Structure 1
Amino acid sequence: MGLPDADTIVTYPTGELRTIATVVAVAPHDDRLAVVTDRTSIHPVDAAWPDQPADAGVLRVGSREYAIRDAVVAATDGDELHVGALPVRPGTEGWTFVVAHLLDADAAVAEGDEVELEADAATRRSLSLGHTACHAASLALNRALADRWSKAAREDALGAPDFDGIAITSSRIEPMGSVDRYRLNKSLRRAGFDAAGLADALDELAASVDATLAGWVDADAPVRVERVGDGLTERRTWVCELPDASARIPCGGTHAGSLGELGAVHVSFAMEDDGGTPVLAMTTRSTPAT
């Protein structure tokens, strides 16, 4: 088995769905076939923060077409290809990081093949809307909770105390939305966040977040993804030109072109319990105009 010697070039940050590529490695992985190409338009599950699912799509070679069952990040130090579970952090010096496209085990694909990769447009669109709504909702949530901080805290991209960045434990991007969970633990309270009465004010919190989101959607704030380079591990940043400021959040996902594309955006909240620690769960849903 040959091993890749350069990071995969990724084209999905620009919104590209289709690309022509060369297969640089093929390896069995569990009951699938991992196919690595020199470039790809398929968004994989991120190894460090797996919030956005992989694109659905197909790989075509000659007249044959194979469904891409999953896409994950893989890494090699020149001796072995590690697929999915990485032994080092992405970007570690001396390692190459690539996208492994997982196909059915009987797929007839070989190193050196020229292939066409195409992401499913509807799936990409729904996840992109969900990811953009997630970022916007996190900023609106920080603003809504700003008066609950009694001490100076790390600030978000708009200058509000960064509740989302400090308290978040998990984020899951879904079609047209997301689910984010925040631990209201002792360390958060010591940092100056007052959670008293929050459980009884979830409807008011949702109304505040919704109102902020409605204003930003009405303004059709433009969204773009900035990147340092084309490689898989190159730094990428979500940028949204809101009416009163430019928001910037590090992000490796895919996104809508503006907040106006989200249509109506609403959040809902629930309090959960994690071994005695309260957890605030925020569900975000986008309903694009037809």
Structure 2
Amino acid sequence: MTLPTMDTQVSYPAGQTESTATVLHVEPLPTGLLAVLLDTTPVHPVDAGWPDQGPDRAVLRAQGIELPVLDCVVGATDGSALHLGRDIPVPKGTPGWAFVVAHIVQPHAALIEGQPVDAVVDTGYRRRMSAGHTACHLAALALNLALANRWKKDVRTDALGSPDFDGTAIDVSLIGENESVDTYRLGKSLRRKGFVTEELADQLAEIESMLNTSLAGWVATDASVRIDRDGPLLTDRRYWVCELPAHDVRIPCGGTHVSSLAELGAVRVALSTTDVEGTTVLTMETFVGRSALGG
């Protein structure tokens, strides 16, 4: 079977949730499942390089049958073999390699090369995940702003000009349905870069209040949100853009998002700290809509 020589075209950055595609390759996996590669897809895959947002829920429809997409992952091939997820041996965009979206499904005779299929995404799940991802970006900007006076040295700044605590200290970021969880290590490395960690835990309630005030103000603007991209391919750079009244915010991002802050309704964060093997870890939980209002 022939492996693709071109990157998959992806339409999820434009908000699409359904498209007709052609099967380019079907590969049996050791698990007994199939990896199905399409020429184009609206299905958001998980990227092992930064797996903050998981895969869409979706189905593939062909010849009157409907197959649930059990997983959707970024893969890569040099024409001789298909590598999936963490088994990809080269950086994204490496010349001579095609980077593809692999739809993992149960085996079925309808899935053959050249077969047209409809890929259909669960729109409700996509909407909730998109809300969680947009709110995650807003919360990171609000956190950077609230912690701006804790830096003794110059560091890189975020899209609003604040010292980029989020980008400097982030350990793990996980996007969920109408929520996100981000953890930050406040260790020696961060202190050497100039961040003051002393008394942060004592001021956590004040910092949290500052974040929620910023978030309420931004959400109240109903600012438009869009994804700008350099091209239609999986490896083309994409950017989250939020048109806040005072400043357009532009952040590199490969995920999915709402089209307006009005869709969020409300956003609230909760901060907490824990000790992990002698290092303080800051956790920021972000909640959207009814969850943000306590409902």
Corresponding residue number in structure 1 for 2:81: 80
Q: Is the 8 A contact 1:11 1:41 kept in 2?
A: yes
What count of residue pairs does the alignment treat as equivalent? 290
Distance in 1 between the 2:96 and 2:105 partners?
28
- Cα distance in 1 for partners of 2:99, 2:250 equals 25
Shift of 1:84: 1.9
Mapping of 1:145-224 within 5 angstroms? 145-224=147-226
1:33 aligns with 2:48: no
| Per-residue CA distance 1:90-125 (angstroms, 9 max, x = gap) | 111111000000002346411111000010000100
Tell me how far 1:142 sits from its aligned partner.
0.2
- Could you say what secondary structure the match of 1:221 adopts? coil
TM-score, length of structure 2 as denominator length: 0.96
Report runs of 4+ in structure 1 exceeding 6 Å deviation. none
**Aligned equivalents of 1:116 and 1:137: distance in 2?**
36
Q: Do the aligned partners of residues 195 and 34 (structure 1) sit closer, same or farther apart at CA in structure 2, a change above 3 Å counting?
A: same
Give the Cα–Cα distance (whole angstroms) in 1 for the partners of residues 175 and 162 of structure 2. 23
Query: How far has the Cα of 1:265 moved from its partner?
Result: 0.6
Aligned partners of 1:137 and 1:181: how far apart in 2? 12
CA distance in 2, matches of 1:175, 1:263: 14
Alignment RMSD (CA, Å): 1.4
Residues 48 and 89, structure 1, Cα contact 8 Å, conserved in 2: no
Look up the SS of the partner of 1:201 in the other structure: helix
1:259 alignment counterpart: 261
Measure the CA separation in 2 of the matches of 1:268 and 1:71.
31
Residue 50 in 1 paired to residue 46 in 2? Answer: no
Pair 114,106 (structure 1): closer, same or farther in 2 beyond 3 Å: closer
Q: Which moved more, 1:179-188 or 1:273-282?
A: 273-282
In structure 2, what is the equivalent of residue 226 of structure 1?
228
Distance in 1, matches of 2:114 and 2:203, equals 59
CA contact (8 A) 1:228 1:236 kept: yes
Q: Which moved more, 1:98-107 or 1:70-79?
A: 98-107
Q: What residue in structure 1 maps to residue 102 of structure 2?
A: 100
Unaligned runs of 5+ in 1: none
Identity, % of aligned pairs?
Answer: 54
For residues 174 and 107 of structure 1, the distance between their equivalents in structure 2, rounded to whole angstroms, comes to 34
The alpha-carbon deviation at position 19 of structure 1 amounts to: 0.4
Question: Partner residue of 1:21?
Answer: 21
Counterparts of 1:101 and 1:128, CA distance in 2: 20
